Structure 1
C-alpha cells in the first residue's frame, strides 16, 4: 500500500489526546496535516511535535460550531496547503452527565452541537471539493452510546449515534463520486475528557463504571485508532466505507473479515425484527 506522501489530512480536535496521535500518525505516513481545535496553544504544540519529527503541519484555531468560522478556516487551509484528501473529525465533548432532568440543558445541547453539528459543518465544506476531484476519504469518530443505550450520557450518546447515521447517509450520497466516509470507535482511551468524568462529582456519581474500567486496565492506547485511521487513509478498508471500524481490533483480522461483514450488513445502525 502506498504511503500518504503528497496528501493533505485535516484533523479536528488535534490539540491533545487521540487527535494529536492521529495527526502524528498521518504526518509519519507522509501527509501534510492541518490541525484544528479551539485552543491555539494546544494545536501549535501538536504542530511543533510533528515538525520536530520532520513532518509538515499547520495549526488552524477554529470553533467548529461556528459555520462562518469553519468556512473561513477551510478556505484558508485549501489556499495555503492545497486540496484536502482526508478529513478526520475527532473533536468531541462530553460534559453533561446524569438523568436528563439533572443535566444542565445548555451543557447537554452543547455536547450535541460540538459533536454532531461540528461534524456536519466540516463535511459540508469538504465533500463538494472532494467530489469535484473524484476522490477523498472522511473519517468521523463515534464512541460510547453509538449502538447501545447510555442512560447517564444521553447527550453524548445521541450525538454519537447521530454521527454514525450521518456517516452512513453521507457515504451513500458521495460514494458514487469516489468519496468514502467511515466511522471509527477508538475504544475507551484515557483522555482529558475521560479524566473529567473521573474527577468531577457528577462524573463519579453517574459514571462509576468508567473508573472501574480503568481499574480493570481497560485503557486503549490512542495509537490504535490513529494507526487504523492511517490505514483507512491509505485505502486499506475502502470496502467498509459507511460502516464502523474499531480502534482496539486487530487490523489484519478485520481485513480477513471484510467479506463476512458486508454479507451480514454489519457494522451499521439497523433496526431488526420489524418484518
Structure 2
C-alpha cells in the first residue's frame, strides 16, 4: 500500500463510498476531514476510522449546497488539519423514484442536480484557490456512467453527473500551467445503502470492490495519473498500470458530440 501525505477532504463521508474513501486514505497516511449533513453519524464514522488507522480525522457537519456552510467547513478543516491537498466531491442525492422526466417531482429532481453540481462547484470554489496559491492539489469528482448517456429512469442523476464532467473539464482548462489537477472517477456499482435502495440494481451481484475505488483515487492523489486530468476514469474496469502508462489524446474520455459522418460540419 503506497503511503500518502497531506490532507484529504471527502464529502458524503459518513457512509457508502465516502466512508470507504475516508478509511482507505487514512490508512495510507493522509489526515482526512469528512463532511456530511448528519453530524452524529459523521462523527461516529470519523472516530471509527481514527481508531482503526491511527490517522488524524475531523468530522465537519455541513450542507454542500449552502455557500456559507461550505466556506465555514473548509475554514475549519484548514484551521484544524491544514490546507487541503485532495478534494473528493462525493456527496450527492439520487432520484427518489424510477420515473420518466415528466413524472418526477420538480423539487426533488432539482435537489438531486443541486447536490452534485452546486455542491461540487461550491467545494471547488472554496478549496481550489488555496491549491492554486500553493501550486499543489488534486480534485476528484465521483461520477457515473450515467453522466455519459441519457437515462430515462434517473434523469436528475444523469443530468447532474453530466454537469460534473463539464465542471471538471472547465476546471482543468482554467488550471493549465499549474500543478493542480481535476478528474472524474466513476466507481462502478459499489454495494452501498444508496445502490441497494435503487430498483435498477435489484438482484445485481457484480459489485465493484470499494478497494478498487480507493486504489484509483490514491493513485490520483500520488500524482500517478496526472495525464488523465480533465478526463473520466472508471474503477474496477480501468487497469491502473495501463492508465499509468497511457497518455490520452484528443478528446478521449471527455464529453463530445459524435459526428454523423465525414461530412458533419460540426465534426
Shift, 1:87, TM fit: 0.5
Match of 2:44 in 1: 45
Distance 1:56 1:230 in 2: 17
1:135 match: 136
Q: 1:175 Cα deviation (Å)?
A: 3.1
> Could you say which structure has the higher helix fraction?
1
SS state at 1:64 partner: coil
**SS at structure 1 position matched to 2:148:** coil
Aligned to 1:192: 193
How far apart are the structure 2 equivalents of 1:144 and 1:152? Answer: 14
Report Cα offsets for 1:21-76 as digits up to 9, x if no partner: 11111111111000110011222122122211211101000001111110111111
CA drift of 1:211 comes to 1.8
Q: Name structure 2 gaps, 5 residues minimum.
A: 260-265
| C-alpha distance in 2 between matches for 1:87 and 1:263 | 26
Shift of residue 159, structure 1, vs aligned partner: 0.3
The yes-or-no answer on 1:4 pairing with 2:1 is no
Q: How many residues align?
A: 258
Correspondence 1:211 to 2:188:
no
DSSP-derived class of the 2:202 partner: helix
Select the residue among 217, 222, 229 that pairs with 1:229.
Answer: 217
Note the 1:150-189 alignment, pairs <5 A.
Answer: 150-189=151-190
Q: Is the 8 A contact 2:18 2:90 kept in 1?
A: yes
Q: Give the alignment partner of residue 220 of structure 1, picking from 208, 212, 232.
A: 208
Find the residue that maps to 1:34 and give its secondary structure: strand
Q: Secondary structure at the match of 2:32?
A: strand
Q: CA deviation at 1:8?
A: 0.4
- Secondary structure of 1:175 counterpart: coil
Instruction: Give per-residue Cα distances to partners, 1:137-160, cap 9 Å, x unaligned.
Output: 100011142111111111000000
TM-score normalised to structure 2 length: 0.92
The two structures have a TM-score, normalised by structure 1, of 0.90
Q: Indicate the RMSD between aligned Cα atoms, in angstroms.
A: 1.5
Unaligned runs of 5+ in 1: 199-206
- Whole-Å separation in 1 of the counterparts to 2:181 and 2:142: 14
Equivalent in the alignment of 2:110: 109
Q: Deviations over 1:208-247 (max 9, x none)?
A: xx225x1xx2211222111110111011101111101111
